Structure 1
C-alpha cells in the first residue's frame, strides 16, 4: 500500500484500490498515461529479493537514470523514495527502481 502511495505522489499512478480476497489481499493500481497514451512508467526493476537483500547507506544511495527515476527504499522510518531518504539522512533496503 505504501509503494502504491509513493507511485501516486511521484506522478506514476492515478489511484489504487485494495481488494480483500480473504488471503493476503490484492492491490490494483491504475497507471498514468501521457499524451498519445504514452506510458509514464518506462521501466521498473525489483532490486532486493528474498534470497538476496540489497542495503544502502545515505552516501552510497543509487540515483536512478541520473535523478529522472526513483528508488523505493524500506527504511527505519518507513517506505520512502531515495530523495526523501537523503533528506531524512537514512539508509535502508532498496526495494525497486522506477523510471
Structure 2
C-alpha cells in the first residue's frame, strides 16, 4: 500500500487509537517517525514506543498515555503536508495553545520542538502540532 503522507497516517493512527481508548497503536516505521515519537515521549504525550524490524521493514508500536482514564493527547494536527509545505523562521515560531501544546519542527539540526528551535534561532518545516 502506497501512502502519500506517512506522517499524517501515523498521527491519524495515534489519534484514532487514543480516542478509542486503545492501549497501543501500530504502524510502519521510519527515521522521521521515530524522531517525532522521541519528542512525544520526552514531552510526556506517550508512555513509550518499540521498534520491530523484519527483513528491512520496520514497524513501530506506541504505548499511549492516559491520565484519569482520559487521553493525554487531545489533538494531533498535521501542519505541513506534501502538497503544501510550511516553513517558518525562528521568529515566526509561535507557542501552541498558550504553551499547553508543542509544535514539532524539522530543522537543519534535526527534528525538535518549536520551543527548542526558537531557542537555537533555527527555522524549518513545521511537521505537526500536538496538544
TM-score (norm 1): 0.92
Match of 1:76 in 2: 108
Q: Which segments of 5 or more consecutive residues in structure 1 lack a partner in the other structure?
A: none
Q: 2:59 aligns with which of 16, 21, 26?
A: 26
Match of 1:16 in 2: 49
Alpha-carbon distance in structure 2 between the residues aligned to 1:89 and 1:31: 32
DSSP 3-state at the match of 1:18? strand
Encode CA deviations 1:52-86: one digit per residue, 9 max, x unaligned: 11100111113211111000000001000011111
What is the correspondence of 1:56-67 to structure 2 with a 5 Å cutoff?
Answer: 56-67=88-99
Alpha-carbon distance in structure 1 between the residues aligned to 2:111 and 2:57: 19
Which protein, 1 or 2, shows the higher relative CO under an 8 Å CA cutoff with sep ≥ 6?
Answer: 1
How many equivalent residue pairs? 98
Alpha-carbon distance in structure 1 between the residues aligned to 2:91 and 2:119: 12
With over 3 angstroms needed to count, the CA separation of the structure-2 counterparts of 1:22 and 1:50, relative to structure 1, is: farther
Q: Which runs of 4+ in 1 moved over 6 A?
A: none
RMSD: 1.2
Q: Which segments of 5 or more consecutive residues in structure 2 lack a partner in the other structure?
A: 1-33
